[in-house]
Structure 1
Amino acid sequence: MKKLLAAAFAASLTIASAAPSFAEDTGKVGVVVKIGGIPWFNAMNAGIDEQAEKLGVDATMIGPTSADPALQVRAIEDLIAQGVKVIGVVPNDAKVLEPVLQKAQDNNIIVLTHESPSQKGATWDFELASAQGFGEAHGKLLAEKMGGKGEYAVFVGSLTGPLHNAWADAAIEYITENYPDMKVVGDRYGVAEDVDKSRSTALDLMSAHPDLKGFMAFGSQGPIGAGRAIQERRMIGNVFVVGPSSPGQSRRLIKSGALAGGFMWNPKQAGEVFVTLADKLMKGEKIEDGETIEGLGVVHPDFENRNIIVDQLVAINKSTVDKLAAMGL
């Protein structure tokens, strides 16, 4: 499977290391993530590989070289052609993927998504944090760091990614209701899956808005880029950056104060859940209300919208970042 994928997508995709091959009747699983080669999805790949080894599932992670929905569509089309039994996706653009995910379903392929609640074409979507809770936690943290006053900007991974924008909605609403002296600057900026774009956008915004006091970045590369911009401008302690990040990548920025912190869930755990759910559904088992699923705990599924959502927030700050980084996150 890995050789076939590499041949088809060598120019545009990063093929993560695959778990060992098992008997054909176990089925094959392909997980298409937003972008390959960054720490967040490297950790997810480790979870996929380890759980695949544990459960005897043939699973492969596929990471496009850029956060381009068209590359995800191509990867999913290839997996459909190969006749895999399960396709997992972390979508860059939920709407763009709808037709190809429906095509997978029409070919009797189980479709699992993550970071895309109520995704059309998905058999199930799973989340390790609710959109409301995740957004509000970051809104509260930014308000605390800014002293409840000043201008702030919001970064998301893309303007079409539903979950990042749902987090932003919840965070902005929380701040608006509780901190009337805080004002959001401009529109959202879809740069938070790219360190360089996040950095340059942060630098431009600080130049254009001298009173800017904060950045809230949803997307693992957004806090890194904005934090580097804070360092360059020597604005540590004057401008605050919050958002989810990979602790191994963000540790120095957090220790220096250039990145104030944030919250995350464990991407390695998310990789494990992809394989756990794939294995369960390939065996014909149903998702039941109140059951315990490894990696998710006790679940209460939304059967109408096909969502399984739990809250497992992990704080990233000066006190926790070393331990989290040591875990390979």
Structure 2
Amino acid sequence: MSAAAAVALFTTAPLAVSAETTIGVVVKIGGIPWFNAMEAGIEQRAEELGINAFMVGPTSDDPALQVRAIEDLIARGVDVIGVVPNDAQVLEPVLERARAAGIKVITHESPDTINNDFNFELVSSNDLGVAHAQLFQEATGCEGGYAVYVGGLTVPAHNAWADAAVAYLEENCPDMTQVAERFGVAESVDDSRNTTLDLMRANPDLAGILAFGSQGPIGAARAVEERGLSGEVAVVGLFSAGQGRQLVHDGAITGGFVWSPLEAGKVFVELGNMLVEGGEITDGADLPLLGEIALQGNNIFANKPLALSKDTVDGLAEMGL
């Protein structure tokens, strides 16, 4: 691959692998606040442990770019590959090749991935989805229609959170209905905004948007604000506090729950270094950064949700989240 091509594909890429432990983390897309915070966590923990770790951020959410990034890391001979998949199924073959080459593979937001050593979540999919649904229930009073946004229809964790939220609403708010099929727009502010404007025009009874993907609540809230409907059309979801804080204070974003992408970046490095050094991970273990975990198959679950609200968003933003 030429240098020009590499620049076009990735927003971050080191020139060479050193003799020390090396960890490369491929995220969904570079240049957005969520993954900027994750990159800071990767760099901080790598410095603390004295190892080489870096993030690779493709310039779009095309799964093919993640495949190329992982192929590049395999060719470089890194010790550990971390990945936050856009399409878990598309990545299975290249992750299998990485493991065949002796590289440890850690995923995040991808509990159904097969070709990995471990996947970690800072909060369980069901708990995160239900927490959002309960907040949405409170905001809407179980009245009207709603829409669900995810980062992509093939993004595993986003759809698992959405499934849990929808199941809760179907049981506890049976009179509410989805006004349309799920939208894969929540990694784009513009797409989320435009979709919300279209939905509000077509559905006068639209009660709110559930958005699972860090850009979804931002775009949806901007649309709601443009229409002068802040506080009337609920926007609930996870987002970067620094990016969404003003929209929360303006009442355009109702709130949500999140975990720290900064901490997730640190966990990639911590777990990767642990695996390289031969460390063992067991159910109920008290792990650095994660605390006491539940291990289900190769899925590591911690319990570190953070509420996003008018009371918390400024503090979380000042922490760089």
Fold conserved between structures, TM > 0.5: yes
1:284 offset after TM fit, Å?
1.4
Asked if the contact 1:148–1:181 (Cα under 8 Å) also holds between the matched residues in 2, the reply is: yes
Residue 13 (structure 1) aligned to one of 10, 18, 43: 10
1:28 offset after TM fit, Å?
1.1
1:300 offset after TM fit, Å?
2.7
Change (3 A) 1:30 1:23: closer
Unaligned stretches of 5+ in structure 2? none
Asked if the contact 1:6–1:15 (Cα under 8 Å) also holds between the matched residues in 2, the reply is: no
Give secondary structure in 2 for the equivalent of 1:243.
strand
**Does 284-293 or 273-282 show the bigger shift?**
284-293
1:5 offset after TM fit, Å?
9.8
Unaligned stretches of 5+ in structure 1? none
Asked if the contact 2:231–2:254 (Cα under 8 Å) also holds between the matched residues in 1, the reply is: no
Asked if the contact 1:22–1:56 (Cα under 8 Å) also holds between the matched residues in 2, the reply is: no
User: Are 2:314 and 1:322 equivalent residues in the alignment?
Assistant: yes
Kindly provide the amino acid, as one letter, of the partner of residue 328 in structure 1.
G
Asked if the contact 2:237–2:255 (Cα under 8 Å) also holds between the matched residues in 1, the reply is: yes
Give secondary structure in 1 for the equivalent of 2:23.
strand
Change (3 A) 1:42 1:233: same
Question: For the residues of structure 2 that align with 1:166 and 1:5, how far apart are their CA atoms?
Answer: 38
Give secondary structure in 2 for the equivalent of 1:14.
coil
The equivalences for 1:252-263 within 5 A come to: 252-263=246-257
1:162 offset after TM fit, Å?
1.2
Match in the other structure for 1:298: 292
Kindly provide the amino acid, as one letter, of the partner of residue 10 in structure 1.
V
1:179 offset after TM fit, Å?
1.0
Match in the other structure for 1:169: 163
User: Are 2:136 and 1:142 equivalent residues in the alignment?
Assistant: yes
1:290-319 deviations in Å (ceiling 9; x for gaps)? 3221111012312x3x11012211100000
1:185 offset after TM fit, Å?
1.4
Give secondary structure in 2 for the equivalent of 1:289.
coil
Kindly provide the amino acid, as one letter, of the partner of residue 13 in structure 1.
F
Asked if the contact 2:294–2:300 (Cα under 8 Å) also holds between the matched residues in 1, the reply is: yes
Match in the other structure for 1:88: 82
Kindly provide the amino acid, as one letter, of the partner of residue 125 in structure 1.
N
Match in the other structure for 1:231: 225
1:288 offset after TM fit, Å?
2.3
TM-score normalised to structure 2 length: 0.97
Q: Paired residues, what number?
A: 321
1:159-218 deviations in Å (ceiling 9; x for gaps)? 011111111110011011011121111110000000000000000111111111100000
User: Are 2:245 and 1:251 equivalent residues in the alignment?
Assistant: yes
Kindly provide the amino acid, as one letter, of the partner of residue 127 in structure 1.
E
1:118 offset after TM fit, Å?
2.7
Question: For the residues of structure 1 that align with 2:125 and 2:11, how far apart are their CA atoms?
Answer: 29
Question: For the residues of structure 1 that align with 2:284 and 2:47, how far apart are their CA atoms?
Answer: 27
Question: For the residues of structure 2 that align with 1:243 and 1:111, how far apart are their CA atoms?
Answer: 29
1:13 offset after TM fit, Å?
1.2
Question: For the residues of structure 1 that align with 2:61 and 2:303, how far apart are their CA atoms?
Answer: 26
Match in the other structure for 1:202: 196
Kindly provide the amino acid, as one letter, of the partner of residue 46 in structure 1.
A
Change (3 A) 1:30 1:7: farther
Question: For the residues of structure 1 that align with 2:132 and 2:221, how far apart are their CA atoms?
Answer: 16
Kindly provide the amino acid, as one letter, of the partner of residue 161 in structure 1.
V
Asked if the contact 2:17–2:78 (Cα under 8 Å) also holds between the matched residues in 1, the reply is: no
Kindly provide the amino acid, as one letter, of the partner of residue 182 in structure 1.
M
Question: For the residues of structure 1 that align with 2:3 and 2:242, how far apart are their CA atoms?
Answer: 28
Question: For the residues of structure 1 that align with 2:109 and 2:4, how far apart are their CA atoms?
Answer: 28
Question: For the residues of structure 2 that align with 1:76 and 1:255, how far apart are their CA atoms?
Answer: 40
Question: For the residues of structure 2 that align with 1:170 and 1:42, how far apart are their CA atoms?
Answer: 28
1:118-164 deviations in Å (ceiling 9; x for gaps)? 31211100000101000000011111101111100000000011111
Give secondary structure in 2 for the equivalent of 1:11.
helix
Kindly provide the amino acid, as one letter, of the partner of residue 311 in structure 1.
N
1:257-281 deviations in Å (ceiling 9; x for gaps)? 0010100001000000000001100
1:73-131 deviations in Å (ceiling 9; x for gaps)? 00000000011010000000000000000010110100000000031211100000101
Kindly provide the amino acid, as one letter, of the partner of residue 52 in structure 2.
D
